Amino acid sequence: MDVNKIRRDFPALNDKETVYFDSACQSLRPQVVLDAMNEYYQHFPACSGRSMHHFAAKVTQKVEDARISLIKFLNAAKKEEIVFTRNTTEGINLVANTLFFKPGDVILITDKEHNSNLIPWQKLCRQKGTILKIVPTHPDGTFDLDAYTKLLDPRVRLVSFGHTSNLDGVTIPAAEIIKLAHQNGSLVMLDAAQSAPHRQLNVRNLDVDFFAFSGHKLMGPSGTGVLYAKYKLLEEMEPFMVGGDTVASSTYESADFLPPPEKFEAGLQDYAGIIGLGAAVEYLQKIGFNAIQKHELELNQAITVGIRAIPGLKFIGPADPALRGGITTFYIDGIDSHRIALMLDQMRGIMCRSGQHCVHSWFHSRGITGSVRASAYIYNTLEEAQLLVDHLIKIRKVL
C-alpha cells in the first residue's frame, strides 16, 4: 500500500502541519466522496422516490446504487436489509425502540460500551421493565468468554456488544459470541462503529442479527450511517420514526406501512450523504482491509514502543498493540489528558482525542479521570507516528 499516494486523495492533508490521529471519532474524506456528494448537489439535487421527473429518477437510482455498494461491503443477503440512518447511535436506538421486549427480558452489554450502546438500554429498562446486565471484561480489556457464558440464560433477549472498542481498540470474538447467543435463543446486535472502518465484514457468515455503524468513521460524510438487520426481523419490527416515505397510503385513521427498509427511513433523506457513503465503502474496498490492518498495526507498534517508557504512562487495554487495531489510548498519572492533547495540537498540529471518549461508565468505575487516544488510519505515516512519540516525550519533560 502506497501511503503517500493515498494521502493525495485527502484534501484535508494538504496542509503539512496537519497530523490527524482522531479517526476513531471521524475519519478524513477522500476526494471521491466529496465529488460524489457534489455531483448530487450540482446535477440532480431533488428527492428520491417521490416525484416522476428525471432529477428524481437519477437520485432514486443513485441511492439504490449506494445500497448495493453497502450490501457488497457487508455481504448482506439483499438490499432491503440496509437501513440508512444518521449514525450508529440512531441504529441502536432504532432497535431499542422497535424490537419487541417484555418486562423481565434481559439485555447483555459489556462493561466498556460507548454511551450509544448503554443509554438506549437504560432508557428501555426504565420504560419497559427490561433488565440490563453487564459482562465484565478481563482486566486488560479483552473479552471474557466465561463471564459471558455464565450470564447467558433463557431470559436474555438481546446481546448488544461493541464489536471493536473505541476505548482500547480490542475486537471481541464475535462469531463465537453470536453462536452461543443463538444456541441460547438470544438475538445479537453488534455496535460496529469501530470495526466497520477497519476490518473485512461478512454479516452473513457472522450470522449477526443487527449491525450498526456510522459513515463518518469510514471515510463517508458526517451524519450518515447504516443499520443492517436480517430481513425477517425488520419485517416484524414496528417502525420507529413514522411519517412521509414510510407509508404506501394513509387515511385519517390509519396507514399502510411500506416494507423494509422504507418503513424505517422516515422523511426526506440525506441523499448526498447516502451517495457519498456508497462512494466511501467502495474506496475502502479498493484499498483492501488486509492492507489497512497491516498498516494500522505498524503504526500502533511504532507508537506503543515509542511511548511505553515515558514515566507514569499507562496504556488502556492490552499491552500488545496487535490486539488494539489502530487505537493507542493512554494516560499519564497526575497529568490532565486535555492538557496533553492541547499541547500536541499547539506544538505541531497533532490531533488526538482526550477525555473519557463517551465511555464515562468505564472511567468512573475505575476512578480514572481521562486519557489520550491516538487513532490511526490508512493515511497516517510512520513519520507521523514518530512525531507523536517525540512530542509526547517532550511534553512529559515539561509537565
Residues that bind ligand PLP (CB under 6 A): 25, 87-89, 114, 116-117, 162, 166, 191, 193-194, 214
Cα distance between residue 161 and residue 153, in whole Å: 17
Q: Among residues 375 and 381, whose Cβ is nearest to ligand PLP? A: 375
Tell me the closest approach of the beta carbon of residue 117 to ligand PLP, in angstroms.
6
3-state secondary structure of 223: coil
Contact 33, 9 (CB under 8 A): no
* For ligand PLP, the closer CB: 6 or 193: 193
Alpha-carbon radius of gyration of the chain: 22
DSSP of 307-352, one letter per residue? Answer: HTTSTTEEEES-SSGGGSTTEEEEEETTS-HHHHHHHHHHHH-EE-
- With contact defined as beta carbons under 8 Å apart, do 125 and 119 qualify? no
203 vs 94: CA distance, rounded Å: 19
* Nearest distance, CB of residue 252 and ligand PLP, angstroms: 36
At 191, is the secondary structure helix, strand, or coil?
strand
Residue 229's contacts (CB-CB under 8 Å, 6 or more residues apart) are: 81, 83, 95, 209, 210, 211, 237, 260
- Which residue's entry shows cell 428520491? 48
Query: In terms of CB distance, is 361 or 381 closer to ligand PLP?
Result: 361
Distance separating alpha carbons of residues 195 and 193, to the nearest angstrom: 6
Which one, 195 or 381, has the nearer CB to ligand PLP? 195
Which amino acid, residue 260? P
Determine the Cα angle at 115 with ends 112 and 116, to 5°. 115
* Shortest distance (Å) from residue 220 CB to ligand PLP: 10
Our CB check for ligand PLP shows the closer of 44 and 84 to be 84
Contacts of 25 (CB under 8 A, 6+ apart): 217, 353, 375
Residue 249 CB, shortest distance to ligand PLP, in Å, is 33
Catalytic pick from 47, 125, 352, 358?
Answer: 358
Beta carbon nearer to ligand PLP, 116 or 171: 116
Q: How many helices (H) and strands (E) does the chain have?
A: 14, 15
Cβ 114 to ligand PLP shortest distance, Å = 4
Taking the complex as a whole, the smallest distance from the CB of residue 115 to ligand PLP amounts, in Å, to 8
**358 is a catalytic site residue:** yes
Supply φ then ψ for residue 19, to 5 degrees. Answer: -125, 105
The DSSP line for 276-290 is HHHHHHHHHHHH-HH
Query: In terms of CB distance, is 88 or 381 closer to ligand PLP?
Result: 88
Which amino acids are annotated catalytic? 358
